Homo-oligomer: A and B are copies of this chain.
Amino acid sequence: MENFVAYNPTKLHFGKGVVNELGDAAESIGKKALVVYGKGSVLKNGSYNDTIRQLKDRGISIVEFNGIKPNPVVTDVDEAASIGKNGKVDMVVAIGGGSVIDSAKIIAICIADNVNGWDVMTGKHTPAGSKPLIAVLTLAATGTEMNPVAVLQNHDTDQKIGFRHEVMFPVHSFLDPKYTQSVPANYTAYGIVDLVAHALEAWFGEGEANLSDRFVIAIIREAIEIGPLLMEDLENYDYRARIMWAATNALNDTTMHGRVSGDWGVHGLGHTLSYLYDTAHGATLSIFFPAWMKRLVEKNPDRITQLGKSLFGVDSPEKTIAGFEDFFKKVGSPVRAAEAGITREQKGEILDLMSKQKVRGIHVDLDEQDREAIVELAL
């Protein structure tokens, strides 16, 4: 086991009606909020109205930025931060999924430190502080509600990158599974894939961490048991709740303690498809994870088989990979690029962007040969 620091100060409120506690939380922070959200879904699922009512009932005044994109861009972050700075807000309230909350994390730093978003993302500016962030989660997927990570893209530099800093933990996160009951089948599936991918990226990380490994297995088992049931019964509160909590745990460091790092190679590969074709993040992961594992078979078959034994009761890397492909298909997420409308003609530009974005991994280096082989397997 490697040395590590376990630290997660987010206060996460989980369950039916928990947004009723948001007013108290906001009031303890300040008097003016920048509310950030995406398009229409938060208006339809009730989360926006519930949140605004909480703020208004406490006399908290509001400025807004809406229109954060599903694959969020740094220009929106800068625009929202400018509204927050002009409004002299005391806090940022994010209502939505990973894209909105990730954006809000950077917005909160930009307001506090009076900097632009890309300087934060690239590490040019080290955050000195952050406006307190309250998150209301409406999509179970990324785990951003209980971690200090954000992923953004920049169309000027053709990059989609992640950034992590301790000031980025939300102070409060509110997770009411009822807001996720109206998420359509495809995005529900992508969320399930995303959480499984996060657990796998920990599993394939660097450093022996046995209890963290056991937690990985626990989380993936939960997804394998509940994911398909949820896909058949999208409005089931209990299934929604179980997937939502599994998604939080897949990326709140529960699976990481004692490791040096996770292997984020597959996320890097996936980001290129999201960047080029706006492919949903979860879909890029179910496309690339099987292909990546096939490439890994030559190098580290045992680690794959160990996973297959625990999850599927199988005894070879090939059967383990087939187990994951079956699972991804069962929830309805693509396992080949073609199913996401990406054809062989696009192979060149995908590889070019991977090269440009300097995608790197640990177990699989993701050098030119690796990338070529993986994209071929994924087509």
Residue-wise, chain A 237-264 has the 8 Å CB interface mask toward B (1 for contact) of 0100110011011000010011000000
Q: Would you call A374 an interface residue if the criterion is a C-beta within 8 Å of the partner chain's C-beta atoms?
A: no
Question: Could you say how many copies of this chain the assembly holds?
Answer: 2
Beta-carbon nearest neighbor of A246 in chain B: B211
CA gap between A7 and B10 in the complex, in Å = 6
CA gap between A271 and B210 in the complex, in Å = 32
A241 engages B12 (CB within 8 Å): no
Which residues of chain B have C-beta atoms less than 8 A from A210's C-beta?
A: 222, 225-226, 242
A15 engages B4 (CB within 8 Å): yes
A14 engages B4 (CB within 8 Å): yes
Beta-carbon nearest neighbor of A225 in chain B: B210
Q: Would you call A2 an interface residue if the criterion is a C-beta within 8 Å of the partner chain's C-beta atoms?
A: yes
> How many of chain A's residues have a CB under 8 angstroms from any CB in B?
40
Set B7, B12, B211: member contacting A249, Cβ < 8 A: B211
A12 engages B3 (CB within 8 Å): no
- Please tell me which stretch of A53-61, A66-74, A212-220, A332-340 contacts chain B, meaning at least 4 of its Cβ atoms lie within 8 angstroms of it: A212-220
A6 engages B146 (CB within 8 Å): yes
Q: Would you call A30 an interface residue if the criterion is a C-beta within 8 Å of the partner chain's C-beta atoms?
A: no
**Could you list 15 further interchain pairs (A-B, Cβ under 8 angstroms) beyond the known A1-B238, A210-B226, A211-B245?**
A1-B14, A1-B242, A2-B15, A3-B13, A3-B17, A5-B13, A6-B11, A6-B248, A7-B10, A7-B12, A9-B9, A210-B222, A214-B219, A217-B218, A218-B218
In the assembled complex, 24 residue pairs joining A and B whose CB atoms fall closer than 8 Å, in A order, are: A1-B14, A1-B15, A1-B242, A5-B11, A5-B12, A5-B14, A6-B10, A6-B11, A6-B146, A6-B248, A7-B10, A7-B11, A7-B12, A8-B8, A9-B9, A210-B222, A210-B225, A210-B242, A214-B218, A214-B221, A215-B215, A218-B218, A245-B258, A254-B254
